[in-house]
Amino acid sequence: MTSLASPAAAAGTWSLGDLTVNRIGLGAMRLTGSAAFHQGTPSDRGRAIAVLRRAMELGVNHIDTAAFYFSRLRSANELINSALAPYADDLVIATKVGPARDASGAWAASARPDQLRGQVEENLRQLGRDHLDLVNLRRMSQDSIGEHFGALADLRDAGLVRHLGLSNVRPEHLDEARAIAPVVCVQNRHGIGTPCAADLPRLCADRGIAFVPYFSIAGEGREAGAVRAEHEEVSTVARAHGVSSARVRVAWLLAQGPHVLPIPGTGDPDHLADNVAAGTLRLTDEEVARLDAVGSAAA
């Protein structure tokens, strides 16, 4: 079990349905390589496993992954299974379904509703579990998600999935899904300078739903990581506290509300520790407002 004194517990907890997690989690995508998916040089396997085990030592108990997170030689789910099974009782592994890739890594057409069971079962096999804690439906380009989300609700009723969430959605998709089954979280791109559209973080807060931001450090670099020059406001705040810009970015997310659960991804144990340490960084109201303004200018 995670110690209440663990670094990841410093920012507090939130409940995903009946599952309680420390607010700073880990995104597993970057464990598969130095760049996104099948591109770039595959990461060192031992280092990736060390990141996962270090995350547990730091108290991280929320990992975000997907069967389509793989590169030429690495699979995020397989790494998680190898590093962490048998799993701790309090570990919540969230997966995603919807996108589809072939064995070469090329993106295929997104899954039809009747294909989602196969994607769920693929995650189950790779992770070595008999049910999934949380499955997020990753919307691709469809205007309506009702049929897809309904298929996942059926799998929840069948006991293969415990809780459901959404990824890459707009407010109308959240309303559509909630009319079918409970939604415990929404995953959308969000960070300083790259704010989520339509004020989804606030909408989630109003509904008691977790908001899980991704690409919060990478920004415009997205899957390739933080490739941009850092914004001066972020650098100024970082210098004032004697910390990294990445730590400031995660701390800003935590300041957006207790329902915000960052999942910064990394393949570096030192970067992992730095990200988790954001839970102890307390930004002033003035600093938060200055960083908010960076996002407003970019919106």
Q: Alpha-carbon distance 13 to 23, whole Å?
A: 5
Residues 6+ apart with CB under 8 A from 25: 60, 61, 62, 63, 64, 212, 261, 262, 263
Cα distances from 269 to residues 36, 42, 56, in angstroms, run 18, 16, 12
- Rg from Cα positions in the chain: 18
Among the options 69, 70, 214, 215, which is catalytic?
69
Residue 173 near residue 139, CB atoms below 8 Å: yes
Report d(CA 137, CA 261) in Å as an integer. Answer: 17
Active site residue 214: no
| Number of alpha carbons in the 13 Å side-chain half-sphere of residue 165 | 27
Give the active site residues: 69
